[in-house]
Structure 1
Amino acid sequence: MGHARSGTTLAHRLLAADGDNFSYFLYWELFFPSLLQKRVIRWLGKLDRAMGGPCIRRLRAWDDRTFGRFRHIHDMSLWNAEEDQFVMQAAFLSQQWALDVPMMDQVDLFHVDQMPAKKRRRWLHHYRECVKRQLLLNGGDRIHLSKNPLMSGWVEALIETFPDARIAVMVRNPTQCIPSTLKLLELTWKGKGWTPEQYGPSLQAMTEISFDSLLWPRQALAKHKATPQIFVDYRDITRQPRETVHRIYAALGMSVSPSYEQWLVDQEDRERGHATHFEYSIDDYDLAVEDIESRLAPLFEQYQWPRVSEATLEGQQA
């Protein structure tokens, strides 16, 4: 977990390559929470391959048309490992609804730890059942690998539901990840025909959620010292992906297999310097750099993020 645009997808897909340890949802599987549905679709896939693959060719062409133009922002495909919280969409408990309709100011899907206990447990029971079915689909002998920025507000509820959970939190300079997230949301809503007047309140709500995304996991995990945990700097996983994965495994009490180690070695040059070609500016939003640096001052100190406000002041004085 971690703030959106903080490297959660990169970390998730690096770990997802360890198929000996992990089970996870592919994007297409999120639309079919039923175990029977997914088994039938997999059987149809085998039948299609036996017939030469006419359906899969059409699906891949559709996949490229639909997601190809956005892959410089977020590498999405029907066959990629993806955020499993989307599996709760049929129960109206997924952030996908907020992406379709700007209602983040009215429907709060983030602050689950603050919900009444009965409601919180009902939500998490549904999530647990979806995860259990996916584990059974993939053999039942692996660890579920979850990647959900939204669940930065679900930490204590997750630990209550999964007492043996192990949690890695991605951390990135908020002057980068906050405007990047706001820009992504704005483009999504504009693409669906919503006007700035309609999605403006949701952007404001997301701005406040951004601060909570950076602070709440740290506060919640401080209460649960026995839960294996690690905070991962975005700069580390982009500059030294193999070494960073080793640190994650060590913190979570896991070991890297020889085959996965070889994959990491082969993949390192490709992932090092990972970046998305996505342009955004904090000046586009009603949010001052000084406000970010003030409200998150302890994190700026801990991670030694450059303070844009200080650089601007020095430039003015010079």
Structure 2
Amino acid sequence: MPDYEVMAPAEDGNKRRKRHKKKKLGLTVERYGGRLVYVWFGMRFMTLMRLFWRGRFSFTLNCIPDTAALFLWVPWNTPLLWISEALYKRKAESLPLDQPPVFVVGHWRSGTTLMHDLFSEDPNLAYPTTYECFFPHHFLLTEGTLDPLFSVLLPKHRPQDDVPVGFDRPQEEEFAMLMLGQGSPLKTMAWPRRGPVDTDYVDFKGLPEKEVNRWAKAYMWFYRRLMLKHKKPLVMKTPPNAARLKVLTKLFPDARWVFIARNPLKVFPSTIKLWRALYSAQGLHNPPYIDGWLDDYVLDVYERFTTAYERDRHLVPEENLVEIRYEDFVKDPLESMRDLYAQLRIGEFDEAEGRMRAFLDDRSDHKVSSYKMPKALTKRIADRLKPFIDRFGYSEAVDAALAEPHTDKRAPQKAAS
């Protein structure tokens, strides 16, 4: 099923036929949202080989040059890990973890990035950078040295929106877990034609205990090295962590949590756009051919995510959890952040306010995409996510959307760049 966006200008018939022929032969690359460097550069060699084996090495010709480039760098991650661990392992493992983190959670495209960015402006807090998450094995050794080598390959903005990109910007630690060889739904990016993988790692439901423990051990390995690097309370942001409270509340019993909710009728199509961009940019075969399963996958994960959060949120002490709606947050982000600092006892907000204000001024021209979905899909979302919609006060907005006159035809897909 195509995306929910306005169609690009009509394309000449002969050009369209030639383009489709090249795509069929695997000679062109579909870059929906623009080009993005492979994240797989951060893996160790055997982790990368296991990823290749999982997709049965089904590369398309158009991905061979980028895939070949992985072999020029990936083998270096292991010796750099050995050197880094020889220098820093003892310090990291003996570090007292007496500064509880702040977890920013909420479904993808719910505003977690904006909040993470605002937290990152506080000089008294720290966050995992993109470099640290993409190269978790040796960032203690190489961050600040090798960044320029890869920075030239980064776009100025994320492929799914106009949020700035940089190796020094805040990033989701889920990418670090992916690089460390742990299970993650992000592995779907590698072989999207084969459909979703590692969905159980959204909430760990159905996973053997040894796999969950393995994931938790790797998470703490990375977290300790982040703390050694930054020596400040960390603000962590990974959407599915909201569905992993059973594990994370044991690892961090004193952590502070911020859960962001947003109208699912806005979140769903934006998430579709996110995965379309990442699957086309990160896929080791291309085009990704995901239309047959993407809608169902996003809705299934959304329901699973909200169910797990509702089931386990009682595990967080009441004074350590704040829930906020995106729609309320963006009305006055500074005042919302001030309230969060007070409610969660994070620190002195006044020291961060000026820098947060400057950040918001720089982003004042940020535009939020709008989408229009078929009524049948709107109804499916409303039915599947009704408990979430009711609890967070979106019933009126959903009812209004269902009452609007809709055609059950989707807008044609925006042309890939």
Common fold: TM-score over 0.5: yes
Tell me the SS of whatever aligns to 1:44. Answer: coil
The answer to whether the Cα contact below 8 Å between 2:187 and 2:198 also exists between their aligned partners in 1 is: no
Q: Which residue of 1 aligns with 2:129?
A: 26
Once the two structures are overlaid, the 10-residue window that deviates more, 262-271 or 127-136, is: 262-271
2:245 to 128, 135, 155: 155
1:201 aligns to 2:290 (yes or no) = no
1:138-182 Cα distance to aligned partner (Å, 9 max, x none): 1x3x21211001222211111112112211111100011012101
1:212 to 294, 300, 304: 304
1:176 aligns to 2:266 (yes or no) = yes
- Offset at 1:194? 3.7
**Structure 2: where are the runs of 5+ without partners?**
1-104, 407-417
Q: Which residue of 1 aligns with 2:172?
A: 83
The answer to whether the Cα contact below 8 Å between 1:113 and 1:157 also exists between their aligned partners in 2 is: no
1:3 aligns to 2:107 (yes or no) = yes
1:199-233 Cα distance to aligned partner (Å, 9 max, x none): 63354223211122234223311244356101121
1:20-73 Cα distance to aligned partner (Å, 9 max, x none): 1x2221111223223xx324324637xxxxxxxxx84x755433xx34472735
The answer to whether the Cα contact below 8 Å between 1:230 and 1:251 also exists between their aligned partners in 2 is: yes
2:389 to 291, 295, 300: 300
Tell me the SS of whatever aligns to 1:282. Answer: coil
One-letter code aligned to 1:87 = A
Q: Which residue of 1 aligns with 2:142?
A: 41
The answer to whether the Cα contact below 8 Å between 2:160 and 2:277 also exists between their aligned partners in 1 is: no
1:146 aligns to 2:250 (yes or no) = no
The answer to whether the Cα contact below 8 Å between 2:131 and 2:139 also exists between their aligned partners in 1 is: no
Which structure is higher in RCO with an 8 Å CA cutoff and minimum separation 6?
2
Matches of 2:288 and 2:404, distance apart in 1: 38
1:291 to 380, 404, 407: 380
Matches of 1:212 and 1:91, distance apart in 2: 23
The answer to whether the Cα contact below 8 Å between 2:106 and 2:260 also exists between their aligned partners in 1 is: yes
The answer to whether the Cα contact below 8 Å between 1:169 and 1:217 also exists between their aligned partners in 2 is: no
One-letter code aligned to 1:187 = A
Rate the CA distance shift 1:101–1:77 in 2: closer, same or farther, 3 A.
farther
- Using the aligned pairs only, state the percent identity: 22
Tell me the SS of whatever aligns to 1:232. Answer: strand
Rate the CA distance shift 1:183–1:144 in 2: closer, same or farther, 3 A.
same
Aligned residues: 295
Question: Which structure has the larger Rg over C-alpha atoms?
Answer: 2
- Offset at 1:9? 0.4
**Structure 1: where are the runs of 5+ without partners?**
46-54
Q: Which residue of 2 aligns with 1:49?
A: none
1:134 to 219, 222, 226: 226
One-letter code aligned to 2:130 = Y
One-letter code aligned to 1:96 = L
RMSD: 3.0
Q: Which residue of 2 aligns with 1:52?
A: none
Rate the CA distance shift 1:297–1:31 in 2: closer, same or farther, 3 A.
closer
The answer to whether the Cα contact below 8 Å between 1:113 and 1:153 also exists between their aligned partners in 2 is: no
The answer to whether the Cα contact below 8 Å between 1:169 and 1:230 also exists between their aligned partners in 2 is: yes
- Offset at 1:77? 2.2
Matches of 2:314 and 2:197, distance apart in 1: 30
Q: Which residue of 1 aligns with 2:328?
A: 236
Matches of 1:134 and 1:84, distance apart in 2: 10
The answer to whether the Cα contact below 8 Å between 1:171 and 1:232 also exists between their aligned partners in 2 is: yes
Q: Which residue of 2 aligns with 1:251?
A: 343
The TM-score normalised by the length of structure 2 is 0.62
Matches of 1:32 and 1:9, distance apart in 2: 20
Once the two structures are overlaid, the 10-residue window that deviates more, 8-17 or 219-228, is: 219-228
Matches of 1:94 and 1:216, distance apart in 2: 16
Rate the CA distance shift 1:72–1:253 in 2: closer, same or farther, 3 A.
same
Once the two structures are overlaid, the 10-residue window that deviates more, 129-138 or 203-212, is: 203-212
The answer to whether the Cα contact below 8 Å between 1:168 and 1:231 also exists between their aligned partners in 2 is: yes
Matches of 1:234 and 1:73, distance apart in 2: 18
More helix by share: 1
1:107 aligns to 2:211 (yes or no) = no
2:313 to 211, 221, 226: 221
Matches of 1:190 and 1:44, distance apart in 2: 30
Tell me the SS of whatever aligns to 1:248. Answer: helix
Matches of 1:161 and 1:289, distance apart in 2: 38
